[in-house]
Structure 1
């Protein structure tokens, strides 16, 4: 087999492959056998029809086509291996010659990872946030814990901001009820602004049994974005009672006897959290610093696929949050053009980051041991809440193991970059990343549901639900390249 490589652009090549016809013999034999099983010719059992009769009744051309389709994937793979190129995505293949008994030739145009060398990365300087835990953060976390143990009692008065009301909602457009926008027994915090616009204003001053109608824009459902007449009926008004921050509360909400012990535990866990954030920043910024030293072209198709993936991810997240893209852009005070530009920039950075880590893994001759692969699968399974064997079976059955190996390799390459970087906090203190990692891995994270440990660890998620949802959507445009390198991965055919 002869293979020629023509560079169309720095990120796309054309392979011209010539194959002696006798190399197709196993594929021709297989084609005859399969067609023999399918055709019905009098006097011959299925699978026993001779080749000459198949040529006569089905046609030699059909056999050749079957054989070529069967042979192409392997021949293309061999051509890629001979050419020593790193292909991305699927090729555009064209059969250029099929001379029965003599010659077979085809071309394949495909995107490739550009050829480059990763420069010296020793001593990259990275600055991360200070690992500071303020008393305000400690008290905020304790406040969130109090919220979890708050109780609701009936209030014999009109609703005020901060109260919880149980309401029935009926939405109508042109006098016709919109079923998916109507509900009964809906519990809502007055003033949270997490439902239909205008609902909070309507509820303030209403008592149990009161009814009021207002005009609002529907946020979800088939009629999302349309104005409707909303009738709200209050079933009950309840006031939220927060427990006092005292020893009794500490004993109720945690394994500690005193509020000071609980406060100290919160402080320790917040400290662990900010150190983890420092490590994450160090990884992201070390890769960003390395990327800035490298100028390489990026395949347009790969970048476009990454942009599409991010937009699909945003759409899914907004759908889960019950938001429209227009609402999200309004909340973020961004135009469609500004958002698209951010997504495109982030996509290019992610693709480039993936290329750099792939090349670094090659240069440093990194490899993945079975133990490392197993550790990764176990870690992912724990995060997903499934059994490791279940995840391993899924990855194997869906041919995802090569992608997982690539991801582990990229993580190892990134770890290497961080190990050689000089990491400082904003106050100028040098951070021993290795020591911090060992410290964190040596600590046990409590995960009992409802315990103070969990609530302390969740302090970063203390915002309102709507803020969390918007933040998740924003991540589709602004994820750091280190975190997203795995998603820009080119799939080698």
Structure 2
């Protein structure tokens, strides 16, 4: 077999392959055998039909087509290996010549991973937010905890913001009550924004037994997106009562004996959270700086697939679970379809560039992934997916996704190499040491979808959402 590679652009090549006919013989024999098992010819036992009879009855062309279809993947793979290529996705194959007993010639165009020059990243310098926890931050944290332990008691007065009302709802569209438009005994906190637009204004000022009618756009159900006339009746008004901020509250809401100890613990927790956010911000900015230094051509077909994958996941998974369609989502976001498409393309491009650069850095630095690192990563992914580690591991193995997880960990290590070499200072000019930023012992890393989801939102938002590229690579290797 002879093969030649023509570079069409930095991310696409055309392979020209010529195969002597004798190299088709194994596939030709297999074709005759397969046809033998599928057809019946009077006078011959099944599976014992001579090749010449098959040619006469069904045509030599049918045999050649079967043989070529069987042999093409093998010859294509040999040509790819000979050219030392890293293909992405399925090739576009064109048989240019097929001479019986002489020659098979074909071309195959396919996207490839571009050759990337890793820039000198030792001079990268970024500025991040400083870690500051104010007394107001602690007050807010304690108030949030206090709110969780609030109780309610029925009151005989008009409902006001913050009160809990028990209500019955009835929605009409075009004067007809919807089958799924009636709800009774619903508890609602005024001002929470958890129900229909306009309901806060409608129930504020009503006492038990009072009712009001308002117009609102339905957020779900059979008439989602339509304007409805909604009648709300208040059956009970309850005032929320917060516990006193004292040592008794500290003992009720925590393992601490005093409010002072509870506040001290809140400070530690907030500091830990802010340090982790600082580390994530550093990663985000270092990654952006690295991508600015690197020239990364993007295969057009890969970019198209990545955009379609992201859009499909958003429409059919994320929004579907929330009972929304894309139009409703865009309306909520205040974006036009054109703005959404532009943002999606920008995110997809960054995701692909990130994955290409970090994968190249993995190779350059000869980074490897140990079993312990992979296990820790799998545990975190399982936790974020809501599955048990055993269930998640089984799903990963059965789906053939172990290489994907290994790649995620390796890219995280590659990014860590760049962050370690970078100079990170806070907005006060102080050098930030990221070695001990996460006191929980977790590492900040680049991981995948579905996304999805993301252990380190900084880097993951770029690299790991890139599912199409990984899918294309898996198909190519298959």
Give me the TM-score of the superposition, normalised by structure 2.
Answer: 0.87
Pick closer, same or farther for the CA change 1:436–1:215 going to 2, 3 Å. closer
CA distance in structure 2 between the partners assigned to 1:484 and 1:127 by the alignment: 20
The equivalent of 1:424 in structure 2 is 425
Pick closer, same or farther for the CA change 1:318–1:397 going to 2, 3 Å. closer
Report SS of the residue matched to 1:338. helix
What displacement does 1:323 show?
4.8
Within 5 Å, which residues of 2 pair with 1:123-162?
A: 123-162=123-162
The equivalent of 1:16 in structure 2 is 16
CA distance in structure 1 between the partners assigned to 2:379 and 2:45 by the alignment: 52
The equivalent of 1:487 in structure 2 is 465
CA contact (8 A) 1:171 1:181 kept: yes
What displacement does 1:289 show?
0.7
Report SS of the residue matched to 1:435. coil
Pick closer, same or farther for the CA change 1:262–1:25 going to 2, 3 Å. farther
What displacement does 1:421 show?
1.0
What displacement does 1:155 show?
2.1
The equivalent of 2:218 in structure 1 is 218
The equivalent of 1:192 in structure 2 is 192
The equivalent of 1:466 in structure 2 is none
The equivalent of 2:446 in structure 1 is none
CA contact (8 A) 1:170 1:231 kept: yes
What displacement does 1:244 show?
1.7
The equivalent of 1:99 in structure 2 is 99
CA contact (8 A) 2:281 2:458 kept: no
Cα deviation per residue 1:237-264 (whole Å; 9 max; x = unaligned)?
Answer: 2222221222212212211111221211
The equivalent of 1:450 in structure 2 is none
Within 5 Å, which residues of 2 pair with 1:440-479?
A: 440-441=440-441
CA contact (8 A) 1:353 1:482 kept: no
CA distance in structure 1 between the partners assigned to 2:26 and 2:256 by the alignment: 74
Within 5 Å, which residues of 2 pair with 1:19-34?
A: 19-34=19-34
Per mean C-alpha deviation after superposition, the further-off stretch among 59-68 and 75-84 is: 59-68
What displacement does 1:131 show?
1.7
Report SS of the residue matched to 2:214. strand
CA contact (8 A) 2:247 2:258 kept: yes
The equivalent of 1:168 in structure 2 is 168
Report SS of the residue matched to 1:436. coil
Pick closer, same or farther for the CA change 1:18–1:261 going to 2, 3 Å. same
What displacement does 1:161 show?
1.4
Cα deviation per residue 1:273-304 (whole Å; 9 max; x = unaligned)?
Answer: 11111221122211111111123322222222
CA distance in structure 1 between the partners assigned to 2:197 and 2:434 by the alignment: 47
CA contact (8 A) 2:5 2:14 kept: yes
What displacement does 1:68 show?
2.6
CA distance in structure 1 between the partners assigned to 2:343 and 2:206 by the alignment: 44
CA contact (8 A) 1:220 1:323 kept: yes
Cα deviation per residue 1:366-403 (whole Å; 9 max; x = unaligned)?
Answer: 33344433332233223324343433332232222232
What displacement does 1:268 show?
1.0
CA contact (8 A) 2:173 2:229 kept: yes
Within 5 Å, which residues of 2 pair with 1:360-399?
A: 360-399=361-400
CA distance in structure 2 between the partners assigned to 1:44 and 1:352 by the alignment: 61
Pick closer, same or farther for the CA change 1:141–1:59 going to 2, 3 Å. farther
CA contact (8 A) 2:283 2:458 kept: no
CA distance in structure 2 between the partners assigned to 1:142 and 1:323 by the alignment: 35
CA contact (8 A) 1:349 1:481 kept: no
The equivalent of 1:337 in structure 2 is 338
Report SS of the residue matched to 1:104. strand
The equivalent of 2:236 in structure 1 is 236
Give me the TM-score of the superposition, normalised by structure 1.
Answer: 0.85
CA distance in structure 2 between the partners assigned to 1:388 and 1:169 by the alignment: 43
Report SS of the residue matched to 2:180. helix
Within 5 Å, which residues of 2 pair with 1:293-308?
A: 293-308=293-308
Q: Greater relative contact order (Cα 8 A, min sep 6): structure 1 or 2? A: 1
The equivalent of 2:401 in structure 1 is 400
CA contact (8 A) 1:208 1:237 kept: yes
Within 5 Å, which residues of 2 pair with 1:251-290?
A: 251-290=251-290
What displacement does 1:328 show?
4.6
Matched residues, number? 461
The equivalent of 2:3 in structure 1 is 3
Cα deviation per residue 1:175-214 (whole Å; 9 max; x = unaligned)?
Answer: 2222334323322221223322222111112233333322
The question of 1:352 aligning with 2:353 is answered: yes
CA distance in structure 2 between the partners assigned to 1:283 and 1:139 by the alignment: 30
What displacement does 1:163 show?
1.4
Pick closer, same or farther for the CA change 1:80–1:328 going to 2, 3 Å. same
Pick closer, same or farther for the CA change 1:157–1:417 going to 2, 3 Å. same
CA distance in structure 1 between the partners assigned to 2:186 and 2:300 by the alignment: 49
The equivalent of 1:457 in structure 2 is none
The equivalent of 2:205 in structure 1 is 205
What displacement does 1:331 show?
4.9
* Structure 1: gaps spanning 5 or more residues: 444-471
What displacement does 1:147 show?
1.9
CA distance in structure 1 between the partners assigned to 2:144 and 2:353 by the alignment: 40
CA contact (8 A) 2:245 2:259 kept: yes
What root-mean-square deviation, in Å, do the aligned CA atoms of Structure 1 and Structure 2 show?
Answer: 2.8
CA distance in structure 2 between the partners assigned to 1:182 and 1:21 by the alignment: 74
CA contact (8 A) 1:423 1:430 kept: yes
CA distance in structure 1 between the partners assigned to 2:254 and 2:409 by the alignment: 38
